[in-house]
Amino acid sequence: MLSAQQVEEIHRASLKILSETGVKVDNSRAVEIFSDAGATIEKHKEKVVVKIPAKLVEDCIKKTPGKVTYQGRLEKCDYTPAGVNVSFTTFGECNYIIDLHNHKVRPSIKKDCRESALICDAIDSIKVVERPLNPSDCPPATQTLHNAESIFTNTAKHAFIGAGNVHSLNKMNEIAKICLGGKEINNRKIFTATVCPVSPLGLGKDCCDIIIEAALLDIGLLIFSMPLAGATAPVTLAGALVLQNAEILSGLVLAQLTKQGTPCTYGSAATIMDLTHVDVSLGALEMALLSAAAARLAQYYELPSLICGGISDSKVPDAQAGYEFSYSALLCAQAGGSIISGLGVLEKGITFDYAKLMMDVEMSNFLTRVIEGMKISPENLALEIIDEVGQEGEYLTHTHTFDHMREQSTVNIFNRLKRPDWQEEGEKYLFEKAYKEAENLISNHRPDLLSKSQLEDISELISQYELELGINRDEELK
């Protein structure tokens, strides 16, 4: 991917953008924070541009924790990315889902949010949950809260959620506290707040509000930028990469200036605007390249990263979806992204599909093994055993085989059957098995549940908030 020298070059270019071009900041409180720390503030007609000196940026990078533990509701669910560790998760939030039963696409509802959280809980290799779906049957103003409820109550794993605005963030935090059984007892942080800078070079009002408030509440942030090369960023990938880097750093600076030590996850959703189709492409090879490069930058800054990988532009869980997942997820994994986000996602990021989820999970397990490579050690070289068996024996019954056979790769839904056996089992295509497997997990998995009173408290909190907002749920448009 990028050489050490190229990484340096991108870094220096980003500092130049931040100090000379500056970032548009649409939030007076944030402007004040930047200003107090020594940034230059330029007021134009309707916009305020903040120019951040290189030294300030570099100081803030140093203050950002390198080691982050994404805490679950239960300690056993904690995830701390380290070294070559990669993990995979979903991508959010999709507006549509391919119905598990009739395989037709439809808008997602709260039930889908619950079930997708449940299945993420069931799958061991998913370490953190990025909210996969949007509850379109809930009032728009509180959809993010209904989503948080669906996730927190169906999995004890750490969640990444966008709050939308600071009020929802505070409510979300209250919901998290209920899940933990009251703030005094437990100070775990079970979610990370996702914020998006707006390319090119903009920090919006809500984005700043959330960064500031999350930092004050000790909630970690995912600073998730999405420049589109050719539309909101230079069409050349290096230009898009450096723009994204500057945007992420500007968010990080605001977080550290608000409260030093706020965990920040480096988030990359950079890709292209396909100028022929006039739409984004998330299966594009450019997204894979940009994500992998972003992973390198995050490593340079010693930050954990969440990068997009494995999303497909296909509408169905077909060969295109499989190819697009495999090559890009592999590249991202090789580049060492801490969390690779894209499991189960089709149609350029707007449709979630259980078959793709199960297929992707199987593939991601392969990838995790592939990047570990093979270990060369005396035990593994097995010279003594080779000598012992010589030219005539076999290894099937050797103790060395017994000792190591569980290390072999195996399949869950991929097919390694002989053709006659495959025919006997009904000549199933992969996606059919994948849907079946998802159905099984959803009906049989039992997560660590919250108590009845906790569930009631959460639902009461949301209803109360809706009342305050003047939302009458029965009157809502579907």
Partner 1 sequence: MYETELISQTVIDGDAERVIQLTEKALEKGFLAEDILENALMIGMNAVADKFKHRKVMIPEVLMSTRAMHAGMITLTPHLQKTRKLKKTKVLIGTVAGDLHDIGKNLLKMILESIGVEVIDLGIDVSLKEFIQSVRKEKPQYLMMSSLLTTTMPVMLEVIEELIKCDMKRGLKVVVGGGPVSEVFANEIGADLYFNDPFEVRKYFIEKYCTG
Handedness of CA 10, 15, 20, 25 (dihedral sign): positive
Q: Which is nearer to ligand B12, 228 or 462 (CB)?
A: 228
Q: Are 69 and 80 in contact (CB under 8 A)?
A: yes
Q: Rule CB under 6 A: is residue 290 a binding residue for ligand B12?
A: no
CA 328/CA 178 separation, integer angstroms: 39
Q: Rule CB under 6 A: is residue 306 a binding residue for ligand B12?
A: no
Task: Pick from 72, 81, 162, 283 the residue near ligand B12 by CB under 6 A.
Answer: 162
Residue 219, both tokens: 């909630």
Q: Rule CB under 6 A: is residue 194 a binding residue for ligand B12?
A: yes
Pairing type for strands 264-268 and 87-89 reads unpaired
The interface mask with partner 1, positions 240-279, x = CB under 8 A, is ---------------------------------x-xxxx-
The interface mask with partner 1, positions 322-351, x = CB under 8 A, is ----------------------------x-
Q: Cβ of residue 218: shortest distance to ligand B12, in angstroms? A: 20
Transcribe 408-459 into DSSP letters. S---SSS----HHHHHHTT---HHHHHHHHHHHHHHH----PPPHHHHHHHH
Task: Pick from 71, 134, 245, 328 the residue near partner 1 by CB under 8 A.
Answer: 134
Q: Rule CB under 8 A: is residue 29 a binding residue for partner 1?
A: no
Q: Which of the choices partner 1, ligand B12, none does residue 141 contact, using the CB cut-off of 5 to 8 A by kind?
A: partner 1
**What letters, b where the CB count within 10 A reaches 16 and e where it falls short, cover 330-365?**
bbbbbbbbbbbbbbbbbbbbebbbbbbbbbbbbbbb
User: What part of residues 316-375 is at the interface with ligand B12 (CB under 6 A)?
Assistant: 348-350
Q: Which of the choices partner 1, ligand B12, none does residue 94 contact, using the CB cut-off of 5 to 8 A by kind?
A: ligand B12
CA 443/CA 453 separation, integer angstroms: 24
Q: Rule CB under 8 A: is residue 217 a binding residue for partner 1?
A: no
Residue 398, both tokens: 């050797």
Q: Which of the choices partner 1, ligand B12, none does residue 194 contact, using the CB cut-off of 5 to 8 A by kind?
A: ligand B12
Residues that bind ligand B12 (rule: CB under 6 A) add up to a total of: 19
Beta bridge partners of residue 198, listed in sequence order: 202
Residue with tokens 């907002």, as numbered in its chain: 469
Q: Cβ of residue 315: shortest distance to ligand B12, in angstroms? A: 12
Task: Pick from 22, 72, 81, 92 the residue near ligand B12 by CB under 6 A.
Answer: 92
Interior angle at CA 226, CA 43 and CA 123, nearest 5: 140
Task: Pick from 32, 218, 279, 456 the residue near ligand B12 by CB under 6 A.
Answer: 279
Q: Rule CB under 6 A: is residue 232 a binding residue for ligand B12?
A: yes
Q: Rule CB under 8 A: is residue 231 a binding residue for partner 1?
A: yes
Q: Cβ of residue 192: shortest distance to ligand B12, in angstroms? A: 11
Q: Rule CB under 8 A: is residue 140 a binding residue for partner 1?
A: yes
**Any idea of the CA torsion for 36, 37, 43, 49, to the nearest 10 degrees?**
-150
Q: Are 30 and 43 in contact (CB under 8 A)?
A: no
Through-space distance between the first and last CA atoms of the chain, rounded to whole angstroms: 47
CA 326/CA 221 separation, integer angstroms: 28
Q: Which is nearer to partner 1, 278 or 405 (CB)?
A: 278
Contact residues toward partner 1 (CB under 8 A) are 95, 134, 136, 140-141, 143-144, 164-165, 198, 204-206, 228, 230-232, 273, 275-278, 350, 477
Contact residues toward ligand B12 (CB under 6 A) are 92-95, 134, 162, 194-196, 198, 226, 228, 232, 278-280, 348-350
